[in-house]
Structure 1
Amino acid sequence: MGAATSDNGTSSSSKKVLSLLFQFSAERTELSVPEMSELIGATTPSTYRYLALLKDLDLLEEGKPGHYHPTARVIPLARAAQLSNPLARIAGPLLREAADTIGETVMLQQLAGDQVVCIELAECDRPMRFTIQRGRSTPLGRGASGKMALALCPAETRERLLPAHLSQDQLDTYLAQGFATSNSEIDEGVWACSVPVINTRKNLSVLTSAGPESRIPEERKEQTLQTLQKSAQKIREKYSKLLI
């Protein structure tokens, strides 16, 4: 009985340690101990224990006093995840083709926890463009990609993560029409359009284009949608052949 309790405690602590590491992202590169404690729902003493382990493994280090960030040791892990992702490998040339057609940045985003993460992208060759990095995460329900991805999720996920500015009816509309759009919802002055690629839980993914709203008139928005939908279909077809 005591062993089972010990195992459960160890398992819980391990999850907290990993959860702490996963709080860092391209948008949140540095955290203080109080911020870590709040994010993972742990006491301050427990957070210090988890932090000490990650520091011993050279995964986190202190930057400015009291604030910590990931070390270069995690970079090979991120690169390995990218290179081993078959969906990203398949999509690369098709994203380049779509970006050249649309004239704006196109990105493939995949569900990871309660977020969608950019796993591959192609930027447009224009002086002013929407810039994003692989690994950037977007919360479900925010922006075109977050709304489209949440609409694809199972009912319990939709109910749990539904933000105040959205309704289930809106999500149903995105699902029925096959796209979601946003304007300045995450990045000021940026219009984005997102369509489904794969809607299975394991590989739930969306294809999104984003660019300055000021140079995307209504007729180009329609062209963007059509190009994204064609590209998403090509990605699905190539991916399905890979699984045969």
Structure 2
Amino acid sequence: MLLALLPEIERDRRWASIVEQRGPAVRDELKWALENRYAVSSGELDEGVWACSVPVPTIGRRPTVLSLAGPAARITEEARHTAITALQEYAIRIQRAISSYSL
């Protein structure tokens, strides 16, 4: 999710090593993540771990995400959906709190 939120120039700079590791389909994954405002992975970094990440909307700041990870075998589809929805709600709450302190 964080990579998807980076400005295109910065994302392209990091692109070569990512495509080398994960293949060209990652571009479609990033597009999907931006459109749906969340990204998930299962066993991508650590075997048996499910994770999700949502953007925290910020204006004029570096991209920020809120993430959750846990054992994939213990997280049902319903719990995954609930986790994504909860993270999206908390991201909005964080954004509101941040914007109330902006000058």
- Range into which the TM-score falls when normalised by the shorter chain: 0.7 to 0.9
Describe the shift of the 1:199–1:161 C-alpha distance in structure 2 as closer, same or farther (beyond 3 A). Answer: farther
Describe the shift of the 1:204–1:153 C-alpha distance in structure 2 as closer, same or farther (beyond 3 A). Answer: same
Q: What is the TM-score with the length of structure 2 in the denominator?
A: 0.85
| Distance in 1 (alpha carbons) for counterparts of 2:45 and 2:31 | 22
User: Do structure 1's residue 170 and structure 2's residue 29 form an aligned pair?
Assistant: yes
Aligned 8 A contact 1:152 1:199 in 2: no
Match of 1:208 among 64, 67, 77: 67
Q: What is the TM-score with the length of structure 1 in the denominator?
A: 0.38
User: Do structure 1's residue 150 and structure 2's residue 17 form an aligned pair?
Assistant: no
**Structure 1, residues 2-46: CA drift from partner, whole Å, max 9, x if none?**
xxxxxxxxxxxxxxxxxxxxxxxxxxxxxxxxxxxxxxxxxxxxx
Which position in structure 1 is the counterpart of 2:81? 222
Written as runs of structure 1 = structure 2, the 5 A alignment for 1:229-240 is 229-240=88-99
Letter in 2 for 1:220: A
Q: Give how far 1:155 is off.
A: 0.8
Larger radius of gyration: 1
Which position in structure 2 is the counterpart of 1:180? 39
| Distance in 1 (alpha carbons) for counterparts of 2:77 and 2:64 | 26
User: Which stretch of structure 1 is more off in the superposition, 156-165 or 213-222?
Assistant: 156-165
What secondary structure does 1:168 align onto? helix
What secondary structure does 1:209 align onto? strand
Which position in structure 2 is the counterpart of 1:159? 12
Aligned structure 1 segments of 4 or more residues deviating by more than 6 angstroms = none
**Structure 1, residues 85-140: CA drift from partner, whole Å, max 9, x if none?**
xxxxxxxxxxxxxxxxxxxxxxxxxxxxxxxxxxxxxxxxxxxxxxxxxxxxxxxx
Written as runs of structure 1 = structure 2, the 5 A alignment for 1:20-169 is 148-162=1-15, 163-164=18-19, 165=22, 166-169=25-28
Describe the shift of the 1:167–1:201 C-alpha distance in structure 2 as closer, same or farther (beyond 3 A). Answer: farther
Unaligned residue ranges in structure 1 (runs of 5+): 1-147
Higher RCO (CA-CA < 8 Å; seq separation 6+)? 2
Aligned 8 A contact 1:197 1:235 in 2: yes
| Distance in 1 (alpha carbons) for counterparts of 2:99 and 2:60 | 15
Letter in 1 for 2:7: P
CA RMSD of superposed structures (Å): 1.5
Unaligned residue ranges in structure 2 (runs of 5+): none
